[in-house]
Structure 1
Amino acid sequence: MCAHRLNHEQIYSLVRAIPKGCVATYGQIAALAGFPRHARQVGYALAALNDDSVPWHRVINSQGVISERARPGAVEWQRLLLEDEGVVFDHRGRVPLKKYQWQTD
């Protein structure tokens, strides 16, 4: 197995650990995986995802915003999934990170 795939698996494992009703940022996952300042790599890993057991929708950007995707309707779908878990968006369409961001030990 190549190192690139191992990184993806490590990212997926971390994303699986995000509790329902919480979110994490791309940068937070990158730092927890051991490569801080590589938030974009987390995005690439999630874009390549083929596994329904990974709650990809719980990862958002550092501004508390759902990042745009190439697929039409993806942002709206992600928001619905988060709202179904009890995440509330503010009037600007942002997730208040102080309230919903996953706190790790």
Structure 2
Amino acid sequence: MHAPFSPSDIWFILAKIPEGNVVTYGQLANMAGAPGYARVVGNILKQLPSGSGLPWHRVINSKGQISFPEASAKYQQQQSLLESEGVTLLNGKVNLKLYQWNGE
């Protein structure tokens, strides 16, 4: 099934996520007008052009967790980038009530 948005739609919203905030994959899909396309959003983020400067690390799963395997270099990189912006993980989870961006 073809997504009702383009990668550039996702990049546009991604660029707006403020430092120190996170969104979920599903939330990003909703913001792009395509509820239910969280996995497509994940695939778009996997294919970000290298050196794009877009804050991919601010996107986490609906449980408030980083989606990479915990021992992986990408997990460590994402955790480090989030923590450098003041977003803390407690038991591997981000407090969505505290850090989730609502788009405004």
* TM-score, normalisation: structure 1: 0.88
Q: Could you list the runs of 5+ residues in structure 2 that have no partner in the other structure? A: none
C-alpha separation in 2, matches of 1:52 and 1:28: 21
Number of equivalenced pairs: 99
Q: Could you list the runs of 5+ residues in structure 1 that have no partner in the other structure? A: none
The 3-state SS of whatever aligns with 2:15 is helix
Please report how far the alpha carbon of residue 49 of structure 1 lies from its aligned counterpart in structure 2 after TM superposition: 0.4
Match of 2:99 in 1: 100
Q: RMSD in angstroms over aligned alpha carbons?
A: 1.6
Match of 1:73 in 2: 73
Please report how far the alpha carbon of residue 104 of structure 1 lies from its aligned counterpart in structure 2 after TM superposition: 2.0
Question: 2:94 is matched by which residue type in structure 1?
Answer: V
Query: Which has the larger helix fraction?
Result: 1
Identity of aligned residues (%): 44
Please report how far the alpha carbon of residue 52 of structure 1 lies from its aligned counterpart in structure 2 after TM superposition: 2.4
Structure 1 runs (4+) greater than 2 angstroms displaced: none
After superposition, where does 1:1-105 map in structure 2 within 5 Å? 7-50=6-49, 51-68=51-68, 72-90=72-90, 92-105=91-104
Q: Is the contact made by 2:17 and 2:103 (CA closer than 8 Å) also made in structure 1?
A: no
* TM-score, normalisation: structure 2: 0.88
